[in-house]
Amino acid sequence: MERETDLPIVVGVDGSEPSLRAVDWAADEAALRGVPLRLVYASLWERYEGAQLAEDLGKPSEQVRAEDIVATAAQRARLRRAEVSIATDVLPEEPEYTLLRESRIASLLVTGTRGRGALTEALLGSVSLTVAAHAHCPVIVVRGSHDNQSLPATHGRIVVGVGGGARTTDGAEEKPTSAAAVRFAFEEARRRGAEVEAVRAWRCPAHETTDHPLLTGEPARLHEQRAAEALETALRDAPADVVLHRRTAEGHARTVLADASRHADLLVVGARRRQRHFGLQLGRVTHGALHRSSCPVAIVPESG
């Protein structure tokens, strides 16, 4: 049986600049982990992302060949990390189907963004969003660079969002929803020699505020205290060999994490998928992080 540490990092490539940035990031990560890199192109990708793919490559659509796309990606990965073993595959399938199947035999699944023009870093392609919502392994969506280069880590910091559990009928909070994300953040920090900043956002509901001069601030302090306690609970098994910073911040979690991502090399969030009328969906915090982060985002599946 193949150990998880031997599983490849899989990158979905489509020939675009965002996917080549994803290749760069994945090659660096494969070198850190000592695992193979697998570059996969689903030949029906253009059906979902439109004729822009051919325009990105500077060729008429009839000249765009799947072999050219994966060969270019593989050459780029070899130039960046010659020591990494690289395999390629071209599959005549739907991109979502291909990548979700690949996620069952991957240690990581890496994709880029597929925004257009001035909105390149503000929008997320349909394929990346679907994969992030359904993959069986952690997914990295590479964001945060506005040219065709994936920049090396410069901040020496990984930010992990510590989410709160749902409320029970008596008002108590269930276990945090980010245990797997916290473990992933510490593992990445060890590999990179980086520090971890664990962030828990909190808000004071409007109906709990008061104008009484002797009580002003009490509800806010209570919510902040609860956030600090939840943070400590989530970090109780933190390893001693990783520098850890704890921070609580007032505000919407998606805004707090987007702000924190400006000074991070990786933003890690947990994804507890919810079954809704239209299938599995990511929570608002994870969805917001994917669209607003200034650095690559890791979406880590949570159990339960």
Q: How far apart are CA 163 and CA 36, in angstroms?
A: 32
Single-letter code of the amino acid located at 21: R
Q: What is the arithmetic mean of pLDDT over 29-37?
A: 97
pLDDT in tens, 240-297: 999 999 999 999 999 999 999 999 999 999 987 655 544 445 778 888 888 889 999 9
Maximal C-alpha separation, the chain:
74
pLDDT in tens, 203-252: 876 555 545 544 455 677 888 899 999 999 999 999 999 999 999 999 99
Tally: H helices and E strands in the chain = 10, 12
Say what the pLDDT of residue 18 is.
87
pLDDT in tens, 44-80: 755 545 455 556 655 545 445 788 889 999 999 999 9
pTM check: above 0.85: no
Mean pLDDT rounded to a whole number for the chain: 80
Q: What 3-state DSSP class applies to 122?
A: coil
Q: How far apart are CA 159 and CA 144, in angstroms?
A: 14
Say what the pLDDT of residue 147 is.
45
* DSSP bridge pairs for 249: 201
Report which of 150, 239, 167, 243 is spatially closest to residue 205, judged by C-alpha positions. 167
Say what the pLDDT of residue 218 is.
65
pLDDT in tens, 41-54: 987 755 545 455 55
